[in-house]
Chains A and B, each alone.
Chain A
Amino acid sequence: MNNIFFIVLMAVGVLFNIFGCIGLMRLPDVYNRLQASTKCVTLGTCSILLSLVFKFGFTEIGVKGLLAIPLLFFASTVAAHALIKGAHTFGVKLGDRCIIDEYEKEKLNKLKNPFN
């Protein structure tokens, strides 16, 4: 039974990684690419790490896998947020089909009246 859970979780993780990388290749914009790939690849790798617990139990290896999950979760999301904020400051345009940019408006408002 443990081996079945191990294989199922590993397969789910690899599947999420495939979807994330397809999104990284095919979407039209920096923001779309990062939004698709970061979420999917982070969840897939977390699933791969979680599968270690079912294979090895609560030994040294399984606990190391469990420990790596929150580390990966918070590290990759914070890095993605900083990266996309830097990209917006750098001046990358949105794609052709996007119609609204709320963050740009917010930044302009902050420039006009900074104490509001």
Chain B
Amino acid sequence: MRTILNEYLIDMDTINQFLSIALYVQIALCFFCLYRIIKGPTIPDRMVGIDIFGILVVGICVIIAVLTNRMYLIDIGIAWIILSFIGTLTLAKYLGGRRLNE
């Protein structure tokens, strides 16, 4: 039963089609974030857009890694998490009205 489900019901073509649909959806969501970055009325709105954009890129990295079988992209995703964290903390410190070396 398990092999039947794995081999015939969901084969690699189905997985690849599903992953490409998911990739297009994630890229469309990135455009939502870009809309908020461009149009945001205040400065913190734009920063929220940048923060969410950074998290969405991690999902895109994982999907491309599985789709094209290039597994080093997951490492790039992990590095992207840390870089996005540091960038958002720096911007938040700038928002609080302090200098960057405090």
A to B contact number (C-beta, < 8 Å)? 155
Q: Which residue of B lies closest to A81 (CB)?
A: B92
Task: Tell me which residues from 49 to 100 in chain A have a Cβ below 8 Å from any Cβ of chain B.
Answer: 49, 52, 55, 60-61, 64-65, 67-68, 71-72, 75-76, 78-80, 82-87, 89-90, 92
Main secondary structure of the interface of B (DSSP, over half): helix
Size of B's binding interface in residues, CB under 8 A:
50
Task: Tell me which residues from 18 to 62 in chain B have a Cβ below 8 Å from any Cβ of chain A.
Answer: 18-19, 22, 25-26, 29, 32-33, 35-36, 42-45, 47-49, 51-52, 55-56, 58-59, 62
10 more CB-based (< 8 A) A-B contacts, given A6-B15, A86-B96? A3-B10, A3-B15, A10-B22, A33-B45, A34-B51, A52-B74, A61-B74, A68-B81, A75-B81, A85-B96
Interface positions of B (Cβ within 8 A of A)? 2, 5-6, 10, 14-15, 18-19, 22, 25-26, 29, 32-33, 35-36, 42-45, 47-49, 51-52, 55-56, 58-59, 62-63, 66, 71, 74-75, 77-78, 81-82, 84-85, 88-89, 91-97
